[in-house]
Every structure is written in structure tokens, then in C-alpha cells.
Structure 1
Amino acid sequence: MSVAAERPEPLRLGGMALRNGLLVHGPTMWAAAVRAPDGRIVSASGRKPRVRSRAVDGLPGARGVVRLGEAMAVIPLVKRALPEARLPWQDARVLGSAAAVTLGGAALKRRARGRGGVLGEAALAGFSLLPSFLALRSGDLAAYHGVEHKAIGAYESGAGDARDATKEHDRCGSHLMAPLLASNVAGTALLRRVLDKPGPVAGAAVSLASIGVAVEVFAWSERHDGSRTTALLRRPGHELQRVLGTREPTEPQLDVGRAALAEILRAEGRG
């Protein structure tokens, strides 16, 4: 019997880079490993919260928002089980830039109402990404983003150790950015044609709808992996990963990724 035939189907894994480690999502469990201040690698795992509803699973748009909400609900569980974990936004500069973007965004919105048009909406959407870009360029977050892709990519391909895998991945959340921005700009422009003074509720509805659209595009790309359209849809995300979002990690950082991967496989019964 060949080695490929003996190898069980790999789990579908996702992840999120932390400032000092890696959070991995499995089908039913989460696991995280971080480098503690004293140099030790510490890890923890637990069960993922899940909304089980056939109505939600069968409703395009809504299911994506719900699944992203489930992923966010894991974060406080990680912090409670692993206090050493440092989240991506746990940085004074990132929090300061987020506050500045909030204030600046309000001013841009007021100016865009009368004359901004589609270009104004696009500029505002791009401006809102500044805290995320700053988070990636500060500390070790971009390196641990590379750890995430390398650890999961090496596991999925069965090709060997994480150090030999690429630091870009086809299921990275960066592939949500282009459809998210495009749908948000289009939705906001349409909203302002329909309503003279859109309120915060209408704006929130457009944001949620944009997330739903982006997740559906992401899922479509995965179902049609290898097509020319999928390659075009993923091009912005790959470039974002290559240029800004990821950095080649060090061997000690890869060790943290190996620990997170070992913990998720143990928690999912594949250890």
C-alpha cells in the first residue's frame, strides 16, 4: 500500500497569528501555542462555540457572518485558557491608530456625502485598513502569520516540515479584503442613492452584507480551486501576503507553530 493511501484525509484547519504565537482552528476544537516571557512554549486547547442551524447553513451571506462570529468568539476563550497570549491589536500604536482612524473616518464621511462619490468611498474603505497594516508591521505578528501558513500548509500537503512550506496560503483571510472592500464601496454608494442621510443602522447592515458577500466569494474560490477566475480573485490577497502580511519566521517561531499544530491534532483526536 502506498504512503498516500495510508495517510488519512487531513483536517481542514484555519488560524490566526498572535503577537507571540499561533491560534489554530480545527473542525470542532481550537488550539493555541505562544512563547511566554520566560522563553517557554505554552499551549492550550478547547472546544469551539458553534451555531448549529440548517437555516443558517443554507442561507448564503448569513452563514459567512455567523462563521466569522464563531471564530471571534474563540478569542476570549484563548485569553482565559492562555493568559500569556498577546492578541494582534494588543499594542499601544495599533490602538492609537484605530482611534485616529475612527475620528478621521467620521470626518471623511462628512466630506464624502456631498462630493466624494465612489472614489471617496474607496478612499474611506482603504483608510479603515490602516490599523491592520500597522499591526502587521509592528512586532512579530507578520512572522507568526508566516508561521501560520507554513505550519498549516506543510500539514495539509504532507510535504514535510513547516520550514519548507511557503509563507503564502490560498485560504488566508487576506483573500477576503478585495471582495470586502468592493462590496462595501458598492453597497455604501447604493445606500446613499436610496437614502439622503443613511443612519448607523443602515451603515452596519451594509458592513454585514459586505462581509457575507466576501465570505461567499472566498468559499466559491475554494470550490473552484485552479480556475482562472479563482486565480484572479486571489491575486490581490497573495500580493498582500507577499509584500506586507507575512514575513519569513525564525526557527524558534516555527517551533511555536509546530507546538500549536501538535496541540490541535491532539485535541481533534489525530495526535
Structure 2
Amino acid sequence: MNELKKSGLESDDWESLKAYTNARIALGKTGVSIPIGESLRFKMAHAHAKDAVYSHLNVADLQTNLAGTGLPVHYVRSQADNRDTYLQRPDLGRLLDESSAEKLTQLNSQPADVGLIIADGLSASAVNTYAPIVVPLLVQAMGEAGFSLAPIVLVEQGRVAITDAIGGILRPKLAIMLIGERPGLSSFDSMGAYLTYAPEPGLTDERRNCLSNIREQGLPPVMAVNKLMWLIQSAFRLQLTGVALKDNDDTSSDSLAIG
């Protein structure tokens, strides 16, 4: 406390809670302002968030890293042909461009239980970091559970609902999209997972389940795969996803058995 007084800083009663969260709490103050250090950290966090929004999907590295799953990996694009259009026209990010739709149609892929889709969303950097970790674990767990898998689809400039356009072509019983989430000032590298049973054009978001904040400082990859497997098995048991699929999972965080 004496050191704080000497520096002109006032302590905050929430200071002890900073050990449990990266949220911007207990910033302290000096006079009527926050300390200069916290002001600079805010500006840095804002810069990280902006960089994440404009980051690019590292398609080549993802294809290389995901090849170890044994599944084909196909790259497609939405109808948003650049980042500014993607941000200004969410509707175009929900639709496949013509050549991508034709590419998937020509695969003549047999319908599978599960189709994995990976999109940049609003933080490609989150996907570049965590998809290569989560996907192999999830593919292994689904294979061991007896689920058949469609080819993996990488989408650039994609929104969540492009799942339905892809699902309408590849026809998996369940689609799982991994996508970069909207960056926050304490979480610019967060990936989300969306599950859609019987995906087809025209669905709305109450038909999906979302697992959010997949990252080391949030929901770590192994815990995320545990939760996803519970949701996948529940979706097939009930033959649905969305508001009717309640998350009543009480399994432990270390329940996943990896090879």
C-alpha cells in the first residue's frame, strides 16, 4: 500500500480477482484517470483486436497440418471477395461463390455422419492457432466413437451460416463449424464451434449450438473436444441441435481419452 501511495496510484478492492481472469478489472486510478500503464495496455489490446479482424486464413499451413487426419481438405470461398466486403456485407459471407459451389458438387461425396468446416470468421489468427490442435483431437475422438466423416472444408471470408450452403451440397447429418470469434479487448484469439444438425439452406440460428471461447486462456482444446463430443452424441441421439438441445454435460474436464 505504501508503494502505491508513493507512486500516486490508488488500490482497487477487486485486485485479487485479477488472478482468475484476463478481463479489464481492477485497473486502479491516479487522480481521476486510469494509470498510464493501463491506458497503454488498452491501446495494445485494441490493436490486437483490429489485427485479428484483418488477419488472413493461412490456407497452405492448415492444409498441411490437417493432412495428418487422413481426411481430404478442400478450400472454398464465400461471395465476399475481400475483407472490407466481408465486414460490410454479412449476407455474402453466408453464401458460397459459384466456383466453390461447383467444386463441392463435383466431389460427389457420399453423405457422412459429420462434416467439419473451418472458416476465418472475425479472427483468422484464432483459427490458424487452434484449428490444427482441435481438429486432429476431434477427428480421432469421432472416429473412435464410430462416426463417419466428410471431407474437411476450409472457407475464406466465411460466416457461420455458410454451413448451410455447404451442408446442402455435402449432406452430412451434422455439420461442425470452427470459426474465429469477434475479438474482445482481452480475447483476440478465441475460436468458436457451431453445431448444426441436418444443415440446409434457409436455417436460422436457433437451430445451432455454439461452444465459445476455445483458447488456452478460455476453454482449452482438450476440454473443448470433450464438450463437443458430448454435444455430438446428444445431437445424434435427439436428432437435432439448437435451443432444444440443452447442455447438461457434467463430465470431467479430463475425460477425453486420446489414443
TM range, smaller chain? under 0.3
TM-score (norm 1): 0.25
TM-score, structure 2 as length reference? 0.26
For the pair shown, which has the larger CA radius of gyration, 1 or 2?
2
Decide which structure has greater helix share: 1
Q: Which structure carries more relative contact order (alpha carbon 8 Å, separation 6+)?
A: 1
